[in-house]
Amino acid sequence: MNEPPRHVAQSMSRDELRLRKEMQASDFIFEVEVAYGDLSHLTKVGGRPSLLQYIREIWERRHFIWRESRKKVATGNAQDRLGIAWLVIRPLLDAIFYIAIFGLVLQAGHDVENYVAFVIIGVFMFQLTSAAISGGTTAMRSSRAMIRAFSFPRASIIVAILLRSILERLPAMAVMLLIIILWPPHELPTLAWALVPAVFGLQTILNFALGLIFARFGASFPDMANAVSFVVRILMYTSAVIFPITRFEEFPVAVLFIEANPIYIILEMYRTILIGGTVPLADSWMSAAAWAFGLCAFGLVWFWKGEESYAREQ
């Protein structure tokens, strides 16, 4: 559509300019409809679909997300000599470090019967959540070229990050179970262990929610990427990852805060099942489910509302 010359535009009123543009737009739409038919099925490029359509589009891309996640897991450590073995070595070294420092040097676990299993479960399972937070924070900025080039639901990126994190840590989870079985006092499998996948499912939903929330924060505030390691460290110490909640008995407010922390609730459910060999209380299941599904609903809607902003420079 041709704009009027500058000297003509200056002599025309705003209403006349608006009317001229509307007429030009109508002529353009008419010509396109004549050539291509009804345009009612078309949508704005980069626009935000309805929430249900948004979820449906994510589901339609599930095969691509799965293949892409598996490929990145397989090639992520390809240049290292030990390759994918680092997926087990890394969390194992972290657990050994925390056991040595907090268990042997600081005697932080003197009132825990099986402190090794306590720390192993805490470290290995918390890293799933910390990876979701860290990955989500930088997801939109690191994928901006792809976001600008293709039209797709941006939450697919968070799903792919979450799936990749799960695939990377499945071998480590197997090693975790092996350690707590072989290390004295030998936590042997019980029927309650069959509930581990259910707790893992709740943690996965929670991780997805946190990934969405931090992804929008990271897209809106680029400096968030520099602070996320501090946030993760705070969450680790307020989730009783490496020492029991009894260490905070002198600070009742801190105890209440930790007990309400969904990450702490989920870690305690893992420990109740794997160390205690018993089924977690109904209150724990209800609290974990409320946090997971509540945050997931909030995170999905909040992330979806920012869909059109992720390709912009901040």
Burial label, 247 (beta-carbon count in 10 A; 0-12, 13-18, 19+): middle
Q: Which positions ≥6 away from 51 have C-beta within 8 Å?
A: 300, 301, 304
The CA distance from 23 to 101, in Å, is: 75
Side chain identity at 151, as an amino acid letter? S
- Of 59 and 148, more confident: 59
Residue the block writes with tokens 């979820």: 55
Tell me what pLDDT residue 9 has.
47
Residues 74-129: pLDDT tens digits?
776 556 666 667 777 777 787 777 777 766 776 666 677 888 889 889 988 998 99
The CA distance from 116 to 183, in Å, is: 8
Return the DSSP state at 181: H
CA-derived radius of gyration, the chain: 26
Please say if the pLDDT value at position 310 is more than 60: yes
The CA distance from 86 to 134, in Å, is: 19
Please say if the pLDDT value at position 136 is more than 70: yes
Residue the block writes with tokens 């007429």: 23
Mean pLDDT of 193-215: 96
CB 117 within 8 A of CB 173: no
What helix, strand, coil percent values describe the chain, rounded to 5? 75, 0, 25
Q: Give, in order, the Cα–Cα distances in Å from 25 to each of 32, 134, 208.
A: 11, 45, 43
Of these ranges, 15-19, 62-66, 269-273, the one predicted with the greatest mean pLDDT is 269-273
**Can you give the residue ranges of every domain in the chain?**
6-36, 51-309
Tell me what pLDDT residue 294 has.
97
Q: Which two tokens stand for residue 245?
A: 């909640």
**CA angle at 130 for the pair 194 and 119, rounded to the nearest 5°:** 55
Mean pLDDT of 167-178: 85
- Least Cα distance to 127 among 215, 31, 235 occurs for 235
Over pLDDT 90: what percentage of the chain? 38
Three-state SS for 237-272 is HCCCCCCCHHHHCCCHHHHHHHHHCHHHHHHHHHHH
Give Cα 210 to chain centroid, integer Å: 5
> The whole model's pTM is what?
0.80
Q: Following CA atoms 166, 119, 265, 135 in sequence, which dihedral angle do they give, to the nearest 10 degrees?
A: -30
When the pLDDT of each residue in the chain is averaged and rounded to a whole number, the result is 82
Residues 10-46: pLDDT tens digits?
555 666 667 666 666 566 665 665 666 665 555 555 5
Neighbours of 312 (CB within 10 A): 11
Q: What count of Cα atoms within 13 Å lies in the side-chain half-sphere of residue 308?
A: 8
